[in-house]
Amino acid sequence: MSNAAARGDLRGKVWPWLAAAAVGVASAVLLRLEGRLWFCACGRLLPWVGDAWSADTSQHLFDPYSFTHVLHGFAFAGLLALLLPRAGWRWRLLLAVLAEAAWEVIENTDFVINRYREATAALGYNGDTVVNSLGDIAACALGFLLARRLGWLRTLLLFVAVEAVLLLWIRDSLLLNILLLVYPSERLRAWQAGH
Ligand SMILES: [Zn+2]
C-alpha cells in the first residue's frame, strides 16, 4: 500500500473512531460541568438495573431504557444512510454518536431536568448520571452497528419487536414517548402509572 493510500485509509477508518471517543470524553466533561454525578448517589456502580421503576433507573450503566437508545441508533443508521449515502459508514456513526451525545448533554441541563420534574412530578429525579449517559451513547452506537449488519428489513422488524417488548415490560417506549410529547394523553399516562 502506498503512503497516500495508507493515509487515506487511516483517515476513513481510524479518525471517526477516535473522534467518537473524543465526543464521549467531551460529553462526560460537559455533563460534569452541568452538575451531574459520575455514578449513582447510592454509591454503587451496577452494570445493569432491571427494575424500570426503581430509583436506580438512569443512574447506572444500563437499564430497560437503554433499549430505547439502541432504537435511536437504528433510526440514525437509516436516516443518515438516506441523507449521506456517499459518506463512509464510520463517519455516519460519528454523526449518530455526536447527535446522541448532544441530546444527553441537553437533556441533563438543569433547565430540562426541572421542566421534566414539573411535567411528570418525578420527585427526587436529579438527572442521569454521567455513567448512564455514556451507557446511552454506547447503546446508540451499538444500535447503529447492529442496523448496519441487519439491513433495512430486519432492522425494521427488530425495531417493532423491541417497541412491543418495552411496552409490555416497562409500559414505555421510544414511540410512546414521542407520541406523549406531541399528544399528551391522560389515559395513556394513567396506564403507564398503573404498573
Ligand atoms: Zn443506585
Which tens digits make up the pLDDT trace of 165-185? 999 999 999 999 889 888 888
For position 124, what pLDDT does the model report?
64
Ligand 1 center–CA 14 separation, angstroms:
36
Q: What is the pLDDT of residues 47-84, one digit of tens each?
A: 999 998 888 999 999 999 999 999 999 999 999 999 99
Ligand 1 center–CA 136 separation, angstroms:
16
Q: Grid coordinates in use for 74?
A: 437504528
Identify the weakest region by mean pLDDT among 77-86, 118-127, 129-138, 175-184.
Answer: 118-127
Ligand 1 center–CA 46 separation, angstroms:
7
Residues within 5 A (CB) of ion ligand 1: 40, 42, 56, 59
Q: Grid coordinates in use for 55?
A: 430509583
Ligand 1 center–CA 3 separation, angstroms:
51
Within a 10 A sphere around the Cβ of 90, how many other Cβ atoms?
15
Whole-number Å distance between alpha carbons of 115 and 46:
28
Ligand 1 center–CA 170 separation, angstroms:
18
**How many CA atoms are closer than 13 Å to the CA of 67, on its beta-carbon side?**
21
Ligand 1 center–CA 125 separation, angstroms:
12
Q: Is the pLDDT of residue 135 over 70?
A: yes
Ligand 1 center–CA 129 separation, angstroms:
10
Ligand 1 center–CA 167 separation, angstroms:
24
Whole-number Å distance between alpha carbons of 147 and 96:
12
Q: Which amino acid is at 157?
A: L
Ligand 1 center–CA 45 separation, angstroms:
7
For position 140, what pLDDT does the model report?
98
Ligand 1 center–CA 53 separation, angstroms:
12
Q: What is the pLDDT of residues 4-51, one digit of tens each?
A: 777 777 778 899 999 999 999 999 999 999 999 999 999 999 999 999
Q: Is the pLDDT of residue 147 over 60?
A: yes
For position 8, what pLDDT does the model report?
73
